[in-house]
Amino acid sequence: MKVVHTREELAQARSALTGSVGVVLTMGALHEGHEALLRAARARADHLVATIFVNPLQFGPNEDFGRYPRTLEKDLAVCAAAGVDLVFAPSRADIYPDGEPMVRVNPGPLGEILEGASRPGFFHGVLTVVLKLFQLTRPDFSFFGEKDYQQVTLVRRMVRDLDLPVTIVAVPTVREPDGLARSSRNRYLAPAERVAALTLSAALRAGVAAAGRGEDAEAAARAAFDGGTAKLDYLVLTDPDLGPPPAKGPGRLLVAAWVGSTRLIDNVPVELVA
Ligand SMILES: Nc1ncnc2c1ncn2[C@@H]1O[C@H](COP(=O)(O)OP(=O)(O)OP(=O)(O)O)[C@@H](O)[C@H]1O
Ligand SMILES: CC(C)(CO)[C@@H](O)C(=O)[O-]
Ligand code: BAL
């Protein structure tokens, strides 16, 4: 496995890769969710590239950019075990040599709802760095987790609207045995918060069960959300493209909540029966 840090080193290493290239973009602190993306990519492409970069552009001024876990040595061991051929772990100056970019990707109206409403500018920052990392790594395939459902929805939309030559593959959410969606931010949780965090996935399960009985999935999920020490940000039923929910057919149930000072998100597919 080759590890490169600068865009020049990356360009050289990338041009040596012949055949198809699958890229997994991460912010590091790798866990089993990332490993699932790496496995899916390994199975689909001739070469596997992973990027590790905590993108300052997608963090708000009061968010956790400073304390976001940075565990490069461990991450490299995970990548090596997963069969990664090339890791790109750039510095801030490598990605943003002129400081903050003046030109950014505008995610449009879907970028202003849900995560975008709670984290203003978040999807401008995400899509801008995703586009830059696509330009630098030139993937045939790129793999994103459904845990960040709005993110993969917007990345697909960017690829379509801007004619990017890459196929986006969404990978189902990997969970802890008790249902909590794996996330790098779970490590912020104190033991009591770790218990409280279970209310996100429990609420979603209640919504899915209610939908199966022909009941209101969103109302049931809200009723099941235990606001003990968790504070609900949003809990919304949509269609698979994040539009208004259909009366019948596939939908998506999405939740975000604060558990102490940690903000967690989760979502599930839900089949609506009229
Ligand atoms: N539990 C999971 N299952 C599947 N994919 C995941 C999971 N967690 C993260 N991913 C995916 O891994 C990629 C990199 O995500 P990132 O490095 O931000 O990890 P994260 O655990 O989502 O961290 P954060 O705590 O910032 O949400 C994204 O495509 C993300 O959706
Ligand atoms: C896609 C991404 C790597 C862009 O910084 C990030 O948002 C993430 O890790 O999900
Ligand atoms: N996992 C999405 C990136 C973020 O929350 O900043």
Which residues, at least 6 apart from 107, have a Cβ–Cβ distance to it below 8 Å?
116, 123, 124, 126, 127, 154, 157, 158
Per residue in 248-272, pLDDT (tens digit) is 999 999 999 999 999 999 999 999 9
At 62, which helix (H) or strand (E)?
Answer: none
- Which listed CATH number (3.40.50.300, 3.30.1300.10, 3.30.70.60, 3.20.20.70) goes with 186-269? 3.30.1300.10
At 158, which helix (H) or strand (E)?
Answer: helix 149-161
**34 tagged catalytic:** yes
* CATH code for the part of the protein at 2-171: 3.40.50.620
* Domains of the chain, residue spans: 2-171, 186-269
Q: Is the CB of 33 under 6 A from ligand 1?
A: yes
- The tokens for 167 are 């196929």
Per residue in 10-38, pLDDT (tens digit) is 999 999 999 999 999 999 999 999 999 99
- Of the candidates 51, 53, 52, 43, the one whose C-alpha atom is nearest the C-alpha of residue 20 is 43
Sign of CA dihedral 62, 58, 189, 146: positive
Cα–Cα distance list, 187 to 31, 63, 98, 177, 262 (Å): 11, 16, 33, 16, 10
Q: Is 182 labelled as part of a ligand binding site?
A: yes
What is the SS3 assignment for 153?
helix
Q: How much is the pLDDT for 228?
A: 81
Per residue in 141-173, pLDDT (tens digit) is 999 999 999 999 999 999 999 999 999 999 999
Q: How much is the pLDDT for 229?
A: 86
Query: What does pLDDT average to over the chain?
Result: 98
| SS3 per residue for 101-152 | CCCCCCCCHHHCCCHHHHCCCHHHHHHHHHHHHHHHHCCCEEEEEHHHHHHH
Q: Once rounded to an integer, what is the mean pLDDT over residues 114-121?
A: 98
The answer on pLDDT for 227 being more than 90 is: no
- Of the candidates 144, 147, 172, 171, the one whose C-alpha atom is nearest the C-alpha of residue 156 is 144
Whole-number Å distance between alpha carbons of 135 and 73: 26
Q: How much is the pLDDT for 257?
A: 98
What is the pTM (predicted TM-score) of this model?
0.98
Which residues, at least 6 apart from 188, have a Cβ–Cβ distance to it below 8 Å?
64, 67, 260, 261, 262
- This complex has an ipTM of 0.98
Per residue in 88-102, pLDDT (tens digit) is 999 999 999 999 999
Judge if 2-171 and 186-269 fold alike in CATH terms.
Answer: no
Q: Once rounded to an integer, what is the mean pLDDT over residues 221-246?
A: 95
- Confidence band (pLDDT; 50, 70, 90) for 226? confident
Q: How much is the pLDDT for 59?
A: 98
- Confidence band (pLDDT; 50, 70, 90) for 111? very high
From the CA of 183, give the closest atom in ligand 3: 1
- Of the candidates 103, 110, 111, 170, the one whose C-alpha atom is nearest the C-alpha of residue 132 is 103
Q: Which of 24, 25, 134 to mutate to test the pocket of ligand 2 (most atoms within 8 A of CB)?
A: 25
